[in-house]
Amino acid sequence: MGKASTVKENRFTKRREPFNFMLWLGMGGSVLIFTILLAVYVMRKSAGVYWTDVPLPTLFWISTFAITTSSFTLHLANLSLKADRYPEFRRYIAATLFLGVLFVILQFLGWRQLILMGISTVNNPSAGFIYLFSGLHIFHILIGIGVLGWAVYQSLKNSTYIDAFVFSVNPPNQLKIRLITIYWHFVDVLWLYLFAFLLYHHGL
């Protein structure tokens, strides 16, 4: 009796989920953009012309705590959904959305701190990069807030146990939640890297 023949699937040619691929492609593009901007920052600072390091807004620390905590609450939301604990899922996904909105508010208030200290892009390009990096990251966060808003809406819409169960086992919905989770963790890690970079060059 001969052995059943098996064909090993080629990981380079196998069909991939298009939305997952698009997400990773978009995140790769974002990393490339920020890498270029960080390189420009280093070169511009090395030139030293009209450059004075300015302290980061203290509210950036609080916003960093908020965005880091939001990744934790999103992780708990995923665990709750997989364990069929839908009330907990609703609370954790709503908490993630709230912390994302709070992050944006704190970032804008951090900008206000800089403005009140008389720090602007006019008198110091160093400050200009702070506005640029945080502003571009806020754009990414707003995209995440939009999709999190959809998840919160769905969690409230499917309020009964049966509706929530049907929602959770639906493959397209599972994919959306998974992609939202990947993207939100990405923007969290991206900010931690940017904040560490700015903190190294600017300090408090």
The residue segments making up the domain with residue 95 are 55-203
CA–CA distances in Å: residue 175 to residues 131, 157, 159, 180: 34, 18, 20, 9
In a domain, 70, yes or no: yes
In a domain, 188, yes or no: yes
In a domain, 187, yes or no: yes
Cβ-in-10-Å burial (0-12, 13-18, 19+) of 161 comes to exposed
Q: For residues 49 and 26, which has the higher predicted lDDT (pLDDT)?
A: 26
Pick from 204, 197, 199: which is nearest to 37 by CA? 197
Is 34 a residue whose pLDDT tops 60? yes
Percent of the chain exceeding pLDDT 70 equals: 88
Percent of the chain exceeding pLDDT 90 equals: 56
Candidate from 9-13, 43-47, 80-84 with smallest mean pLDDT: 9-13
> CA 51, CA 53: separation in Å to the nearest integer?
7
CATH number, domain with residue 75: 1.20.120.80
In a domain, 150, yes or no: yes
State the chain's mean pLDDT as an integer.
Answer: 87
Candidate from 31-40, 85-94, 115-124, 188-197 with smallest mean pLDDT: 115-124
pLDDT band at 2 (very low <50, low <70, confident <90, very high): very low
In a domain, 95, yes or no: yes
pLDDT tens digits along 82-139: 999 999 999 999 999 999 999 999 999 999 998 888 776 666 788 888 999 999 999 9
In a domain, 136, yes or no: yes
Q: How many domains does the chain have?
A: 1
In a domain, 21, yes or no: no
Is 5 a residue whose pLDDT tops 60? no
Cβ-in-10-Å burial (0-12, 13-18, 19+) of 63 comes to buried
In a domain, 37, yes or no: no
Give the mean model confidence (pLDDT) for residues 136-145: 96
Candidate from 4-18, 30-44, 56-70, 75-89 with smallest mean pLDDT: 4-18
Q: Where are the alpha helices (DSSP H) in the chain?
A: 18-47, 59-82, 86-116, 125-157, 161-169, 171-202
Q: For residues 5 and 203, which has the higher predicted lDDT (pLDDT)?
A: 203
